Structure 1
Amino acid sequence: MHRPVRRLCVMFNHLRVAVPYSTTSQMVDEVILQRIQDCGVITLNRPKSLNALNLSMIRKIMPQMTEWEKDPAMNLVIIKGTGGKAFCAGGDIIAVTEAGKLGGDLAKDFFREEYILNNKIGTYKIPFVAFIDGITMGGGVGLSVHGQYRVATERTVFAMPETGIGLFPDVGGGYFLPRLGGKLGVFLALTGYRLKGRDVQKAGVATHFIQSSKMQALEEALLKLPDPKSRDVARTLDRFQTESTDIPDTDFSLRDHMGEINRLFDGDTVEQIFENLRKEGSEWSLKQLEELKKKSPVSMKITLQLLLEGQHKTLQEDLQVEYRLSQHCMEDKDFYEGVRALLKDKDNKPVWNPATLAGVTREHVNWYFSPLPPDRELKL
């Protein structure tokens, strides 16, 4: 197995926990919620699962954030993860797909409540700082990228690899990815390319880069701000970024390929992008083409349409569309097959249905975007 694929499988495999979300003593501290003076601190505390997000965690975070937001004395909220390896490597998708097979409510509730939390973060009325130190994928992106400040470190690994498991870059991916500039978001969404360290900031996913050895001091400095308005938080983050000189400031890893990305991934259909890459014929373009051929054809088509439409939508409008997509994914086949191949059987040989782009009709794509019954639509 090629090294990038092997690494991706390792990260996905950490998301295999399928613990029921009923209350148990073992789950009491999955997420730690603290009030320190007039600041809130949310700590994701499932290090053995790379802080993968489950429904019980969402149901603890959301009401606490709502309560803090209503408190006029609250000045700042920080979210971080434990363990040193990940901020949050994604959602508990094994549990979701297992429930989906049985027709359980988890498949409906998880996506609905996760997206409501994503919207809360995106519209939060007090400064919100996410420490995306370590692996940040899927659900972890939703907990951070819509917030006012996102702090990456040299240990940060950002990816939206959902097309490889028969899903799509959700948690607001249809909103933030088209806004990264050019066709970078389309490239990241279709290929699942991983950004590391300073690249996460250079791409526009993070607002700041601070070396991991300074993160504890940064948190202490933020908590000590006498009256942390947004400008004071920004100045503190800027200062720590300026002082993060132990990590070399290298060029953006995709700098030499941005011209190709903007040209070759500029298409109204996935077929057009495939043809662009094939005609280009360079070593780099053919490598991207081979990577795309591994992805779910359905996922790639709904992902491209999501991003093309999302560039003109608000976050709320995009999340409502994404909820429709999530529920139709639960009714179709590829999401279950992708999870089986990468997470359960781990043969890394998904059998997509349909197996080709030509087999994915316009009618099938339109069905994914079709409204749900009124009582099942996402309400924000």
Structure 2
Amino acid sequence: MNSPVNAEVVGRLGRLGLNRPDSINAIDLEMMHALTETLDAWATDPAVSAILLEGLGDYGFCAGGDFREILTRAAEGMTIGTVFFRDEYRLIAKLAEHPKPIVSIMHGMTMGGGISLAGHVGLRVVSDRVKLGQPETGYGFVPDGGATWRLARTPGEIGTYLALNSADMAAADAVALGFADAVVPAARIGELTAALADAVDTAAPEEKVRRFAVSPGESAVMARRDWIDACYSADTVQEILERLWVFSSGREVGGLRASESMDPDAAAHATEAADTLLGLSPTALVATLRSVRAARDGETLREALERELRLARWFTTQPDMFTGVQALVAQNTETLHQAVVPDWKPADLSAVDVTDIVAAMETPLRHSVFPRGLGIPEDEQAAAAAAGRGARRA
């Protein structure tokens, strides 16, 4: 049986390859633990001066978390949800705080947890054919794994839009919005990895990436910022919907009309955005808006991960996550030829209990992501928290 992670040292480069290509490298517990063990070993290994995180296979870096595993274990009566998310979030923090420089290369499909693995390291590369996204509200869940921390630091209200609408990003969007640092053509990724592994060439990883990087071009999402800011700055999802409807009809929202927007198709795009929201989980939408807004308030990455774990744990007790994931799995089967519309409960935004969501976000769990008993000295915890505060902000 193949290992879910290929780990090897080439020159002085530690190469970590996600190795579940048949599932577009979906993250399971075995993969998390293999990554964690190797990162711990390489942290003090003098033979390793830098680390490369990549995904094997042609289809993508990582399609996100393996929710099939969560559903299977939940059906068996195991409390796999909390363990899965807790271990994943600890791994994400380890990648963000690792003492060795880490370069991630995202190609093809890179969704949800895939962005979380690659998106918090020191140097993030995307291929020109990458497709990134936070698709969680589409299957009854919320952006997690530090996603709200990153989304909250995008320009204006774009992070709110991306999170609520499960919108996709291209390479240019990723760089403009702070999800990546450089674009390298897919045809030259092999040359880049060879250069990073070349021990004779002592240039820093940043310099090696620069040699292959190309201009990201214009961001299509950033071109929509004026009407996104006007509509998505509302306090509730229902108010966002109402603003989108008003704006798409040609009327003014936040001092802007569709005819005045920098986006020539603003009215059509706003209509499309509203229609998308109407098909997504109302509970997930309300919780996502709350979570992204909470991440704006000076949180460190670690603090965001703690809040996200509390919310993720609550969602494993709610029907929408299981309904949504089951629909997603069914839609991906070979025998199905039409989209599956999940039966969200509740089906209306007005019926979502905001009190329960706020309580879930604020109530500490018995087993948190970073308990004092984890074996991390308090001075190191303080240093890691400081590093989180000073980390790259979009």
Q: TM-score range, shorter-chain basis?
A: 0.7 to 0.9
Describe the shift of the 1:96–1:145 C-alpha distance in structure 2 as closer, same or farther (beyond 3 A). Answer: same
CA distance in 2, matches of 1:299, 1:228: 48
- Give the letter aligned to residue 284 of structure 1: H
Shift of 1:284: 1.8
Tell me the secondary structure at the aligned position of residue 57 of structure 2. Answer: coil
- Give the aligned length: 346
Asked if the contact 1:153/1:198 (under 8 Å) is kept, the reply is no
Give 2:162's aligned residue. Answer: 188
The alpha carbon displacement at 1:72 in A equals 4.1
Match of 1:40 among 14, 17, 32: 14
User: Is residue 89 from structure 1 mapped to residue 63 from structure 2 by the alignment?
Assistant: yes
From 196, 207, 212, the equivalent of 1:240 is 212
For residues 107 and 362 of structure 1, the distance between their equivalents in structure 2, rounded to whole angstroms, comes to 22
Query: Are 1:377 and 2:368 counterparts?
Result: yes
Q: Residue 308 of structure 2: which of 322, 339, 345 is its match?
A: 322
Match of 2:30 among 31, 56, 62: 56
Q: Give the one of 338, 347, 357 matched to 1:355.
A: 347
Normalising by the residue count of structure 1, what TM-score does the alignment of the two structures yield? 0.87
Say whether residues 1:342 and 2:319 are aligned partners.
Answer: no
Give the Cα separation in 1 of the matches to 2:330 and 2:11. 44
Q: Which amino acid aligns with 2:368?
A: E
Describe the superposition over 1:192-249 as per-residue Cα deviations: whole angstroms up to 9, x where unpaired: 11112333223321100000111111111111155867xx2112211211xx48xxx6
Question: Which range is displaced more, 187-196 or 269-278?
Answer: 269-278
Gaps of 5+ in 2: 249-266, 372-394
Q: Which runs of 5+ in 1 are unaligned?
A: 1-25
Q: Is the 8 A contact 1:160 1:188 kept in 2?
A: yes
1:323-371 Cα distance to aligned partner (Å, 9 max, x none): 1111111111110010122213665211111111100122122233142
Instruction: Flag the 1:77–1:356 CA change in 2: closer, same or farther, 3 A.
Output: same
Per the alignment, residue 299 of structure 2 pairs with 313
| Structural mapping, 1:274-293, within 5 Å | 274-281=241-248, 282-293=267-278
Runs in 1 of length 4+ with deviation above 4 angstroms?
A: 225-229
Q: Percent identity?
A: 28
For residues 271-327 of structure 1, give each alpha carbon's deviation from its aligned partner in whole angstroms, at most 9, with x where no partner exists: 221121111122221110000111111111111111111122100000001111111
Alignment correspondent of 1:295: 280
Structure 1 residues 226, 310: closer, same or farther in 2, change over 3 A? farther
Taking structure 2 as the reference length, what is the TM-score of the superposition? 0.84
Q: Which is further off, 337-346 or 130-139? A: 337-346
SS at match of 2:351: coil
Deviation (angstroms), 1:373: 4.2
The equivalent residue for 2:136 is 162
Closer, same or farther in 2 for the Cα pair 1:88/1:373, shift >3 Å?
closer
Q: Secondary structure at the match of 1:151?
A: strand
Give yes or no for contact 1:89–1:135 (8 Å, CA) kept in 2.
yes
The aligned runs of 1:134-173 (5 Å cut-off) are 134-173=108-147
What CA distance in whole angstroms lies between the structure 1 residues aligned with 2:75 and 2:307?
A: 23
Q: Give distance in 1, aligned partners of 2:159 and 2:41.
A: 34
For residues 349 and 39 of structure 1, what CA distance do their matches in structure 2 show? 46
Q: State the secondary structure of the residue aligned to 1:179.
A: coil
Aligned mate of 1:75, from 49, 54, 76: 49
Look up the match of 2:358: 366
Q: Is the 8 A contact 1:85 1:134 kept in 2?
A: yes
Q: Which amino acid aligns with 1:217?
A: E
Residue 259 of structure 1 aligns with which residue? 226
Equivalent-residue separation in structure 1 for 2:223 and 2:165 (angstroms)? 17
Equivalent residue letter for 1:323: L
| CA shift digits 1:125-168 (9 cap, x unpaired) | 22110110111001211110001111111220000010010000
SS in 2 for 1:79: strand
Residues 222, 228 of structure 1: 8 Å contact kept = no
Indicate the RMSD between aligned Cα atoms, in angstroms: 1.8
Q: Distance in 2 between matches of 1:70 and 1:297?
A: 46
